[in-house]
Chain A
């Protein structure tokens, strides 16, 4: 896993450095900006979907889905970050303990 850890770290650092180094007009173009603004939304929602409903290459419905639903409720109630994470993990753990 070391190559992945180092390559991804290098890539992320290069992006940070590029931001403070390149002339603003390169990235300030409207199209680039739009994609860059929406990309995190797309990636985060795809990650939520796959890490909740995928097990390897299979789609499954297991206690993680209930954890996600509970976390979504916590977010809608404007709970702080850690409360959201603890709610998601905790409700999944409870369901597993109950044998679901």
Chain B
């Protein structure tokens, strides 16, 4: 929309429109991903209400997939909750980065906190101007929240209608989703090392520990490794 973008005001409006357009686009893409989450959660044995509650209350995709994955495999509530919460730690780091940008207090802070996810953070921190960053955060966060929840409910009812969702390979959808979430983090040598150690530790732990616990064993092994790791390794391109 390059028309009359000479005046500062219309330039601002053009930038705002682009931010909102991006936010809706990301919301639609994530909503479709919500459909797959809804279906996977039903396949794992959750009810439609439990599935909808997760998207509404937890609202962080990787943790949601992790919880239903562990519960669906027959793991206990404790390893399931621990895995989901550990995966949610990255949102605390996002919050730290966003705190100075958002400048929210009280109820608005409580509301903003729920919208802190990969997508809203990425869109906010990629803006140089604080006002645009705030708009990007709220627009992306709200758009993803609405469409993710709608998608979840649609996917849950859709899978409920199937007699056996395994026919569609939906039990293999979660590992595929995890690979897609992992890929952008694998840019240096260190994450590969961590990933291999964690996967190896989990596999070794499978026959030795209750379902769900191998993932926590792997996390502990990787945490030890990263604390003891040589500082130089982290900076390798």
Q: Is the A/B pair a real complex?
A: yes
Using CB atoms and an 8 Å cutoff, list the residues of chain A in contact with chain B. 1-13, 15-22, 24, 27-28, 31, 33-54, 56-59, 63-64, 67-68, 71-72, 74-75, 80-82, 84-85, 87-94, 96-97
Question: Among B13-21, B124-132, B169-177, which stretch is in contact with chain A?
Answer: B169-177
**Which among A6, A21, A56 is the interface contact of B109 at CB below 8 angstroms?**
A21
A87 contacts which chain B residues (CB < 8 A)? 176
Pick from B59, B98, B226: contact of A20, CB under 8 Å: B98
Q: How far is the CA of A21 from the CA of B104 in the complex (A)?
A: 9
Contact of B98 among A6, A7, A19, A28 (CB under 8 A): A19
B71 touches A50 (CB 8 A): no
With both chains docked as a complex, state the minimum distance between the C-beta of A6 and any C-beta of chain B, in angstroms: 7
Q: Give Cα A13 to B60, complex, Å.
A: 9
Contact of A11 among B81, B102, B110, B113 (CB under 8 A): B81
Which chain A residue has the least Cβ–Cβ distance from B47?
A1
Q: List the 9 closest A-B pairs by CB distance, nearest first.
A: A19-B95, A88-B176, A42-B222, A93-B169, A46-B218, A92-B169, A71-B176, A92-B172, A11-B85
Chain B residues contacting A46 (CB-CB under 8 Å) are 198-199, 201-202, 214-215, 217-219
Question: Can you list 18 residue pairs at the A/B interface with Cβ under 8 Å?
Answer: A8-B85, A13-B114, A15-B85, A16-B116, A19-B92, A34-B226, A39-B223, A40-B185, A41-B198, A43-B66, A43-B86, A43-B87, A52-B175, A71-B180, A72-B179, A81-B29, A85-B33, A88-B169
Assembled-state Cα–Cα distance A13/B185 (Å): 23
Which B138-173 residues sit within 8 Å CB-CB of chain A? Answer: 166-173
- Name the distance in Å between A13's Cβ and chain B's nearest Cβ: 6
Interface contact tally, CB-CB below 8 A: 314
A99 to chain B, nearest CB (A): 13
Complex CA gap A49/B218 in Å reads: 10
Cβ A48 vs Cβ B81 within 8 A: no
Interchain nearest-CB distance for B65 vs A (Å): 8
CA distance A5 to B80 in the complex (A): 9
Q: Is B32 close to A, CB under 8 A?
A: yes
B77 interface residue, CB < 8 Å from A? yes
Contact between A91 and B169, CB atoms less than 8 A apart: yes
Contact A45 B211 (CB under 8 A): no
A63 touches B172 (CB 8 A): yes
Are B57's CB and A6's CB within 8 A? yes
Complex CA gap A21/B114 in Å reads: 13
Interface presence of B93 (CB below 8 A): yes
Across the two chains, which residue of chain B brings its CB closest to A51? B175
Q: Chain A residues with Cβ under 8 A from B7's Cβ?
A: none
Known: A1-B47, A49-B202, A91-B172. 15 other contacts (CB 8 A): A5-B50, A7-B77, A19-B95, A20-B109, A31-B227, A35-B227, A37-B90, A37-B93, A43-B218, A44-B87, A47-B66, A48-B179, A50-B203, A51-B175, A82-B32
CB neighbours (8 Å) of B113 from chain A are 13, 16-17, 19-21
Q: Beyond A4-B80, A89-B168, is A19–B91 a contact (Cβ under 8 Å)?
A: yes
Chain A residues lying within 8 Å of B211, measured Cβ to Cβ, are 54, 56-57
State how many angstroms separate the Cβ of B22 from the closest Cβ of chain A.
Answer: 15
A27 in contact with B96 given A45-B199, A71-B175, A82-B36 (CB within 8 Å): yes
